[in-house]
Structure formats: structure tokens, C-alpha cells
Structure 1
Amino acid sequence: MAMTLAEKILAKASGNSEVSPGDIVMAKVETAMVHDITGPLSVNTLKKEGISKVWDNEKIVIPFDHQIPADSINAAENHILMRNFVKEQNIKHFYDIREGVCHQVLPEKGHIVPGTVVVGADSHTCTYGAFGAFATGIGSTDMAAAFATGELWFKVPETLYFNITGELKPEVMSKDVILSIIGMVGADGATYKAAQFAGNTVDNMTIASRMTMSNMAIEMGGKAGLIAPDDKTINYVKNAMEANNTAKPFELVLGDKNAEFEEKFEIDVSNLEPVMACPHNVDNVKAVREVAGTPIDQVFIGSCTNGRLEDLRAALNVIEKHGGISKDIRVVVTPASRSIMLEAIDEGLIKKFYQYGCVVTNPSCSACMGALYGLLGPGEVGIATSNRNFRGREGSLESDVYLASPITAAACAVKGEIVDPRDL
């Protein structure tokens, strides 16, 4: 029986020779992640159930990223709870407030490998699908079960296959591609389905750009967002494991060529133009030129979607090319990880952002979660390179958030209003 990539990974993890969509399987978890927001509930559930020892202290990864440094007494108490848990269980892979966003840190540190099941108590865990893993977000109480047993049940999902072809124009990024797909499919168009991205456009993308694609699979309801592993994947994973002494064997898993998909989409991006997700839904996608001229108050460049080095470079290139940012707006820049921050410092990017009047924050979730930096007030409009624009996501319920690529966001920062980067 021919199987898709998602089906083959779940079959392998559950010890079955084959599985079909709709099957219920008990799969072994390779990596389990909680952070400072979701971890306390998982830990308290374990204690409530009388479970004194986790299944494997080397397969649990705990980064702090949402409220770092602690921005309230409650956050500080959560940090203390989690630090105590780490010590009690001798968790080997704990990253305190210094490392950055979980979805960037785990791959960087070599914790994500192809062909495995990865669970995280955070919806954007699907980011790791860019490495050929079946990665999905789960609830904190489900995570407690995974912590206790190392296994979790899954319903094998149908797969939507997106064959993406063509060469992207200079002003267009993978963020424009995934936003366009979400606009086409809808916010619930892939509910509990695996979204698989393929085609020569994806083949030519960097790992960072692929991570942007997989990251936003959840924004169309996807259970996972997968990209088949290739040489780029293997090189990234091996280098990350070697650099962090996290080496472990892994097996490449590829879908069968004659596998059946619930639906297959043929998408030519050769003529794709810059797009935005407009308030207040991620699938409210329009060409930037349709909303050009809208006044803005703030631009946020960062998050687990677009806070990587190539994103910072792309944004700064636009700002430099056009002589700086508008004096009438605020620009918040947040690298996704400490590693990225250090590279950006070495390249001189951080100094230049400051020279142009941007505010650069420590690596964290920052403005994306509406709790740390860069909150929008009532009536304000923000452009963000993050992944959600629901009401209140970045501050006031009466503010508006538009989602865009780093290139488009930087162009808006230059202009002081929404503008297509081609029209600067």
C-alpha cells in the first residue's frame, strides 16, 4: 500500500507496516517540548496524577521564550516552577531566558530530526515539519501524558499536497507564498489534515524559508506542515547536532510516489505579487496594492515565522536602499534566537537597525503574543511579520494588524503607510 509522508512517519512511530487516513495509532514520541507558558500546566497535571518520573529526560526540551525576562510576578512564579521541575527530573535540555523562540531554538540545537514524531505544547510546533518530521501542537494535559509515557495517540490525517513551481520575483518571499495558500484554502480548509509542500519552488528555498511555510500550516487548520527531507535538510540537521553535541541516529522517511492525497494543488508562483493578511483573519489575504495607502503606526519584524537571519537581512536591505524609516512610526525588530542575534551583531545588522531608529529587543516572542514589547493601542495599525492577526493579538482589541513578509514590512516602515515594495 502506497503511503504519504505523514502516513509513513506515523506508521513507523507506531510499529505498523501501514496505516490509512482515519486510523487511530499510538505513536512513540521522539521529542516533546513545553515552554514557560504551557509547561506549568503539564507539570501540575503530572503532580496531580502522582507521576514522579518522566519517561525520558533527554527527549524533553524546555525553552523559555514567551515572557522573558519575566514581565509579571505570575511569570516569575511560572519560571520558578519550571526551573524546579528541570532540576527534579534532571532534564538535559533546558534553555532559560537567554536563547530565544522555541521553534527556532529546537532545530538550531539539533533536537529535530527527519522521520520522527515531535510534539509541542504550542500550536506552531508544526514549524519542525520543514525538517521532514511529523510535528504538531498538543494541549498541556496531553503533554503530561507524553511526558509520562513517551507515547501519544493520533488519528492518521488526510494529506493536502501543494506542488509549488516557478521562480519567485525579487520582492516576493516564502511568506507571500504561504499567505496566498492560506487565502486560497481558508482558515479551516486543512483542519486536522497534513499539508505537504513540494515542487521546485520549495526545493530552491532555504531551510529558513521552508520553516516559514511549515510554521503557518496551523493557520489553515493543519495538523502538520511537512516538507520531504533532502540534502539541505540533512546538512542542517547534522551540523546542528554536531555543534551542540546532540547527535543521534535518524532515518530519512519519504512518501511513496504513487501515494493518494485527499487533494492536490498545482500552484505556479512565477507571477505572485506581495500580499498581506488583512484584519482580522489570516485568510483575509489581499495583494498589497489593494490596501496601499493605509496609514500605519508600527512595524514588527521578528517571530518564529520571520525572525531569522535572512529575514533581518532582507528587511534591512530595503531600509538601507531607501535611506531609513519614516519618522512617524515605530519599528520593533526581534531576532528569533540568541544565535541569530549574535550573527546579526557580527554582520553589523543590529547596529544599522539602531542607527535607522529601530528598537531591537532580546530574542523572544516579543510583539507576536501581545504581552511583552510593542503593544498596539486603540485605533492603531501595525504591520507584522508574525503569523496571527486576530483581534488583540498584538495589544488592543481595537487595533488592526496586517501580516506581511519582511520585505513588505520594511517597505511600509520606509513609507510610513502600507505600500507594495515594488512601488517605493
Structure 2
Amino acid sequence: MSMSLACKLIARAAGRERVTPGEIVTCQVDLAMFHDSSGPRRLAPMLQQLGAAIWDKSKVVLVMDHYVPERNEDARRIVRIAREWAREQDLPHVYDSIGICHVVVPQHGHIRPGMFCVGGDSHSPTGGAFGAYMFGIGATEMLGVVTTGELWVQVPQTIRMRWDQRLPPGVSAKDMMLAMIGRFGMNGGRYQAVEYAGEAVRELAMPERMTLANMSAELGAQVGLVAPDEVTQEWLEAHGAPGVDFAPWSSDEGSADEEHGFDASALAPQVAAPFSPANAGPAGDFAGTAIQAAYIGACTGAKLQDLRFAAEVLRGRRVARGVRLLVAPASHEDRDEAEREGVLEVLRQAGAQMLPSACGVCAGYGDSFAADETVISSTARNFKGRMGPPSTRVYLASAYTVAASAVAGCIADPREVLA
């Protein structure tokens, strides 16, 4: 019988030759990731109460990204707890204030094809872009993982999203995701495994595949998977994980429980209206909506590829009067490479204000937008009250569309600017 990629990954972690959807199995965890918000301040007291120790410190990664830079006493307290606990535990993999966990962790070679990983954050499915089974869990489940190295999971069904043809200029993985969420809703993944396939997916660079896997959370999936290939291998070799064998990690023909097809060549830039990523439709449907701020940030919208997209639009242009363009690169690595390529200079010349590489406004910590402001953002979520007061209206879009809208002073189709 054929097996999906999700089944193969779980079978390996469970020490089984095969598994079938619906089974409940116990898996050995290869990596546990958490950040300053989800990790030590919750785990440390529980571990102390139990008198328990971490099962394997080499398999734990801690990232400080949510409450940094510290803007108030509460943030300073939370980050101090994380830093002190990391020193006490002598953790070997700690990344402090250098970017967002979902970008920093793979950039340091921690996620590779075939792994079974968990993260203390809902966007942990990002790891699926590398052919790893990775999903978010809560603090109680994480306590079990860090003390035993094990976690039970119910083997999911696989929903295959096949994207044929190639994306046109000005259209990106963010548009693909918003289109799928708009079509199927935020429970369209039914907490199963969603696998992205087809020519358009194979043509995507790794940062774009990471966006697909990441926003599987907004689609309601447990994991979002892309079968690894030469693109994956080349990216990992450049990030400290050479010699990766991707051959075993692909779905067998006919193994998907459900399949949906899309024509990538016909996809228009997408925008999601307040207050849900599911309120998505072609950018032209929202054209002319005045904005006061444009934000290029977060793990879904400010990786190196996103910064390049924005520069394509902004080169030789200026942000419209009365509009603030804020840019928070997803990691220091992405920021530094964008600086070397001249990408950040293009953004600055256009009038962009650079912000620290952290979760920032997207996570609702520290900075936020003002009451009654209308914002277009490359983030993953636009829930009421998340990025400002309840009256703040946030539209979601790709970095292309955010940049084009910043220039126009209103929501705009980036293809018109690029043309």
C-alpha cells in the first residue's frame, strides 16, 4: 500500500515500517523549539516542581524573539527568565535577538528532511518546508516532550494542494496561501496534513516554501509539507547541514486522501480584509482603499525573498505622503544579505523605516498600530486587536502588494506598478 509523506515521517519517528491515518502512535522527538514567550517562563517552574530534567539538551532550541527588544518591565522580566534559565541549563542552542524563531532555527541547520519536530508556537509548521514533520504544541505537551523526548500523535490524513503551471510576475507564495485560505476557510486543513505540490511549488525558493508551510496554521492544518528536493538540499548545504538525503521523503503516487488542483498562472495578487485571513480575494477587489501604514515584517513576510520583492516595486519610487512604511527583516541573516545586495538601501531610499528583527507588531508585543488606522501588512494574521486597538483595520497581502500600496497610498495591485 502507498504511503503519504506525512505517514512516512511519522512511521520513522515511531520506529514502524508503516502507519495508516487514524492510528495513534508514540513518536521520538528529534527537535523541540520554543521561544521567550512560550518556553522558560512556563516550563521552568513545572520542571522544578517535578524535579525533572531535560531529556536531551542537544535537541532543544531556545529563541528570544517575541519580547525583544524589551520595551517595558514585563518584557524585561520575561526575557530575563529565559536568559537565566538558558544559562542554568547550559543549553547549547540559544539564539538571542537575532530574528524570528521560524526563520532562525532552519537558518542554523536544525531542521532537515525526515525529522519529527515540535515547537512552542502555532507557526511551527514552517519546518514542513524542509520535508520534516513539525507542528505547534502547548506548554503542557512541551513539558512531556522535554522530559521524555516522546509525544503521541494521531496519524493524519493528507490533503494535497497541487499547483500547476508557474506563478506570474508580482505573485508569490503568500498569494497562494491567501487564495487557499479564502477558498477553504481557516478550518480547511481540518487539523490534518496538507501537502503542497506541483510545478509552481517546485519552482519556489526555500523562503517561499517556508511561507506555505508556515501559514498552514491559518489553513487549520496540523502540518504543512513540501517534499524536499535539490532546492532543499542546496539551501541546507548553505546553512550548515550538508549531505542531506532527500530521496526517501516524498509521497507515493495515489497516497493523498484528498486532492485539490489550482492553476498558478491564473492567480492574481491576493488581499485579506479585516478581521480574518479567510476574507481573501483579488487585490483589485480592494483597490483604492486608503491606508495610513504599510508593514513588511514577520516570518511570513520579511524573509530575504520578501525584501527582494518589495525592492522590485520600490526601486526608484517613494512612499506616498501620509503613509508610513515599516520594515522588520525576519532575521539578521536576511537583513545582512539584503544590505549586501543593496535591497535595504532601495527600501530606505523609498522612505522605509527599519525596525528590529523580531516578532514585533505581528505578535502584538511592544509596538502596535494606532486606533482607527488602516494598515496593509505582510503578516499572517489580522485578527481584531492583534496589532493595535480593536478599531485598527489590518489587511493582509504579499510584500509585493504591501510595497505597491505604500507607493499608491491605497491598496494597489503590484502588477500595475511593476508594469
CA offsets per residue over residues 343-371 of structure 1, 9 Å max, x none?
12222332332332211011111221122
Counterpart pick for 2:292 among 268, 277, 297: 297
Structure 2 counterpart of 1:268, from 239, 249, 263: 263
For 1:252 and 1:129, how far apart are their aligned partners in 2? Answer: 16
Deviations 1:243-279 (A, max 9, x none): xxxx797665424423432210111111111111111
* Deviations, residues 51-75 of structure 1 (Å, cap 9, x unaligned): 1x21111110001001111122222
Cα separation, 2, equivalents of 1:343 and 1:278 = 32
Once the two structures are superposed, residues 198-227 of structure 1 have per-residue CA deviations (whole angstroms, 9 ceiling, x without a partner) of 011111111111111111001011000000
Letter in 2 for 1:188: N
TM-score (norm: length of structure 2): 0.96
Taking the aligned partners of 1:22 and 1:71, their CA distance within structure 2 comes to: 46
Q: Say if 1:115 and 1:252, in contact at 8 Å, map to a contact too.
A: no
* Aligned positions of 1:346-357 closer than 5 A: 346-357=340-351
Partner of 1:196: 195
Q: CA RMSD in A?
A: 1.5
1:173/1:92 Cα in 2 relative to 1: closer, same or farther (>3 Å)?
Answer: same
Correspondence list, 1:299-318, <5 A: 299-318=294-313
Find the residue that maps to 2:26 and give its secondary structure: strand
Distance 1:34 1:256, change over 3 A: closer
Cα 1:414–1:122 change in 2 (3 A) is same
Aligned pair partner of 1:409 in 386, 402, 407: 402
Whole-Å separation in 2 of the counterparts to 1:219 and 1:119? 17
Name the amino acid aligned to 1:312.
L
Match runs of 1:186-335 below 5 Å: 186-241=185-240, 252-321=247-316, 323-335=317-329
SS at match of 1:300: strand
Structure 1, unpaired ranges of 5+: none
Task: Give me the whole-angstrom Cα distance separating, in 2, the residues matched to 1:225 and 1:328.
Answer: 39
Match of 1:162 in 2: 161
Aligned equivalents of 1:126, 1:160: Cα separation in 2 = 15
How many Å separate the matches in 1 of 2:395 and 2:73?
A: 32
**Distance apart, 1:188 and its partner CA:** 0.5
Q: Which amino acid aligns with 1:191?
A: R
Contact 1:5 1:253 in 2 (8 A): no
Count of residue pairs the alignment pairs up = 416
State how far apart, in whole Å, the 2-side matches of 1:351 and 1:251 are.
37
State the one-letter code of the partner of 1:356. A
Q: Deviations over 1:153-191 (max 9, x none)?
A: 111111100111112111111111111111111111112
Alignment of structure 1 residues 94-243 onto 2, 5 Å: 94-97=94-97, 99-241=98-240
Give the secondary structure class of the aligned counterpart of 1:153.
strand
Identical residues among aligned pairs (%): 38
Letter in 2 for 1:105: V
Cα distance, 1:290 vs structure 2: 0.8
Any gaps of 5 or more consecutive residues in structure 2?
A: none
Please state whether the residue corresponding to 1:82 is helix, strand or coil.
Answer: helix
Q: Is the 8 A contact 1:32 1:120 kept in 2?
A: yes
